Amino acid sequence: MSVKISLIVNNQNYKLDVEPYETLNFILREKLGFTGTKQGCDTGGCGSCTVILDGKAVYSCMTFGVKVNGSNILTIEGLKKNEILDPVQKSFVDNAALQCGYCTPGFVMSVKALLDENKNPDEDTIRDYLVGNICRCTGYTKIIKAVKDLSKK
Amino acid sequence: MFKPNLYFTPLNYDELYVLLEKYPDNSRIIGGGTTIYELAHKGLLSDINVLIDLKNLNLINIIEVNNSLKIETSVTFNQMENNSIITGSHSYSSISDSLKQIHPIQVKNVATIGGTICASIPFYDLPVSLVSSDSKIIISSSNGERSVPIDEFFIDYFFTSLQPGEFVRELLIPNLSNSAGAFEKFALTGNDWALVNASVQIQLDKNKCIKYIRIALGGGIGNKIIRAINVENSLINQIPNLNIINKSSKLIFDDVNPIDDVRASSNYRKKLYPVIIKKVILKSLNRLGVNLN
């Protein structure tokens, strides 16, 4: 039996019918077309599905869509403002902090959540916060550098 | 396949009890949802077609009552980690320790205390520190409420002493004066389940003699979290020194039969337990002003 929910995604209101088992990841990608949020392991191990839900980083693959009725969600598509990249996106570009790019939207959203909580994280804090995102190209050094550059600003 | 087709958000306890009685076998209460999706991905929970969300009951408070800390079932890990009562008292330091060592942030932001104990998975970290803290679980149903010591709550993997129609409403963690807790885990990576974990609560008397000690072990320990009773008994009424702690920690060999899995062999885990027990005891004593390092 489908349930009516409303969501704010990247400052736009949406009303839609969802099934109780559908994940936020499925809803974002398949029902609303926000395919920047990736689907990876589906079990909370890789972080590629990370979005910001009411100001906090969460795994969209493990979030019940019905449970987040009325919430405010930020995905990678919501970062760029007037064709200008968000500072987190720009720092990833400037530091070449991506190889294949599949993990990048998840990393960027986690970093955005970290910097919203803590403007100047040290390297230990950065590494600790990003434990839930993996890069199978193993490009961690440049990712950490991209965050450290932001931390100095 | 996990495909629940009904979802309810009861507005009060009476509505919740009606639902729990109407769907005794095929419903699950959802907390953060992370464990449920992980189990569903492994092909489990295919018999569940009703989800019950407690969000309208607002069980989201952490309150001091009668020398205990009451933590309501929907409180998240993140909320606990940032709570000044928990971070401000040595009595609750095993809870703070375990929360610091739980990853990732994406799970901590949504996972709840009710969910982590009702999952009954011994690899989880927070339940181990709740056992060493001697927590009581307050269970409610249409028949009233009952209190269960956490030792008696866990029965087997995924199996607790909750009866049909009941739900976990809150936990009570005693505030033991002049005591300190400590928790540690060994894991292969920062984002993996514990190979072994251990938690302790120690109370000293005026002569620095151990008046009370409670040690809980989890990780690959077997089907449920256990107490290290032999170690506890050998340390009670002793003035701790390194020699006594070394000897006592090794008594755990008689108490455990850890699992063999892809992460580590049973023998390897068996060798880790005395090391981690010693580590948590020294950490707790240090917090009580006894530095044996």
What is the interface pTM, i.e. ipTM, of the complex?
0.96
What's the pLDDT score for residue A87?
97
CB spacing of B6 vs A1 below 8 angstroms? yes
Kindly report, residue by residue over A62-99, the tens digit of the pLDDT: 999 999 999 999 999 999 999 999 999 999 999 999 99
Per the structure, the count of domains in chain A is 2
Q: Are residues B150 and B221 in the same domain?
A: no
What's the pLDDT score for residue A118?
95
B82 found inside a domain: yes
Confidence of residue A153 (pLDDT cuts 50, 70, 90): low
When CB atoms are compared, the residue of A3, A19, A132 closest to B191 is A132
Task: Give how far B84 is from chain A: nearest CA, Å.
Answer: 18
Report d(CA A129, CA B104) in Å as an integer. 7
For position B118, which CATH number holds? 3.30.465.10
Q: Are residues B71 and B166 in the same domain?
A: yes
Per the structure, the count of domains in chain B is 3
Q: Are residues A63 and A122 in the same domain?
A: no
CB spacing of B106 vs A59 below 8 angstroms? yes
Structural domain containing residue B259: 179-287
Q: Are residues B194 and B161 in the same domain?
A: no
Q: Are residues B168 and B248 in the same domain?
A: no
Q: Are residues B48 and B97 in the same domain?
A: no
Q: Are residues A73 and A104 in the same domain?
A: no
Is residue B111 a contact partner of residue B76, using CB atoms and an 8 Å limit? yes
Report d(CA B17, CA B38) in Å as an integer. 27
Q: What are phi and psi of A125, to 5 degrees?
A: -65, -40
Task: Give how far B90 is from chain A: nearest CA, Å.
Answer: 24
B292 found inside a domain: no
Task: Give how far A136 is from chain B: nearest CA, Å.
Answer: 15
Among residues A78, A101, A124, the one where a domain terminates is A78
> Which of B31, B35, B17 minimizes the C-alpha distance to B163?
B17
What's the pLDDT score for residue B98?
98
CB spacing of A110 vs B106 below 8 angstroms? yes
CB spacing of A58 vs B106 below 8 angstroms? yes
Task: With residue A113 as reference, give the H or E element that holds it.
Answer: helix A104-117
Kindly report, residue by residue over B25-55, the tens digit of the pLDDT: 999 999 999 999 989 988 999 999 999 999 9
Q: Are residues B18 and B119 in the same domain?
A: no
All residues of chain A having their beta carbon less than 8 Å from the beta carbon of residue B41 are 42-43
Which residue is associated with the tokens 């009516």?
A4
Q: Are residues A109 and A57 in the same domain?
A: no
All residues of chain B having their beta carbon less than 8 Å from the beta carbon of residue A46 are none
For position A25, which CATH number holds? 3.10.20.30
Q: Are residues A63 and A124 in the same domain?
A: no
SS3 B273: helix
All residues of chain A having their beta carbon less than 8 Å from the beta carbon of residue B103 are 128, 131-132
What's the pLDDT score for residue A44?
87
> Which of B219, B174, B223 minimizes the C-alpha distance to B198?
B219
All residues of chain A having their beta carbon less than 8 Å from the beta carbon of residue B107 are 44, 59, 62, 132
Q: Are residues B144 and B208 in the same domain?
A: no
What's the pLDDT score for residue A151?
86
Q: Are residues A13 and A30 in the same domain?
A: yes
B132 found inside a domain: yes
Which residue is associated with the tokens 């109370």?
B203
Structural domain containing residue A50: 3-78
Which residue is associated with the tokens 């337990």?
B273
B293 found inside a domain: no
CB spacing of B38 vs A43 below 8 angstroms? yes
The pair of structure tokens assigned to B143 is: 């028949």
Among residues B139, B155, B174, the one where a domain terminates is B174
What's the pLDDT score for residue B224?
96
Alpha carbon B203 to its chain centroid, in Å, reads: 20
pTM for the complete prediction? Answer: 0.96
Q: Are residues B153 and B69 in the same domain?
A: yes
Q: Are residues A71 and A110 in the same domain?
A: no
A55–B contact, CB cutoff 8 A: no
Is residue B103 a contact partner of residue B109, using CB atoms and an 8 Å limit? no
Q: Are residues B145 and B198 in the same domain?
A: no
DSSP for B156-220, please give it: ETTEESPPTT-EEEEEEEE--TTEEEEEEEE-SSTTS--SEEEEEEEEE-TTS-EEEEEEEEEET
Q: Are residues A93 and A74 in the same domain?
A: no
Beta strands in chain A (DSSP E): 3-9, 12-18, 50-53, 56-59, 72-74
Among residues A40, A57, A78, the one where a domain terminates is A78
Q: Are residues A65 and A115 in the same domain?
A: no
B134 found inside a domain: yes
Among residues A15, A48, A78, the one where a domain terminates is A78
The low-confidence residues of chain B, meaning pLDDT below 70, are none
B117 found inside a domain: yes
Q: Which residue of A has its CA nearest to B51?
A: A20
Among residues B147, B174, B201, the one where a domain terminates is B174
B11 found inside a domain: yes
Q: Are residues B160 and B208 in the same domain?
A: no
A115–B contact, CB cutoff 8 A: no
Max CA distance (Å), chain B: 62
For position B40, which CATH number holds? 3.30.43
The answer to whether the Cα torsion of B168, B35, B220, B238 is positive or negative is negative
CB spacing of A1 vs B55 below 8 angstroms? no
Report d(CA B50, CA B47) in Å as an integer. 9
Among residues B36, B56, B76, the one where a domain terminates is B56
Q: Are residues B148 and B204 in the same domain?
A: no
B53–A contact, CB cutoff 8 A: yes
Q: Are residues B221 and B267 in the same domain?
A: yes
CB spacing of A67 vs B55 below 8 angstroms? yes
B1 found inside a domain: no
Q: Where are the alpha helices (DSSP H) in chain B?
A: 13-22, 34-41, 77-81, 84-87, 93-101, 105-108, 113-118, 126-132, 150-153, 229-235, 242-250, 266-287
Q: Which residue of A has its CA nearest to B34?
A: A62
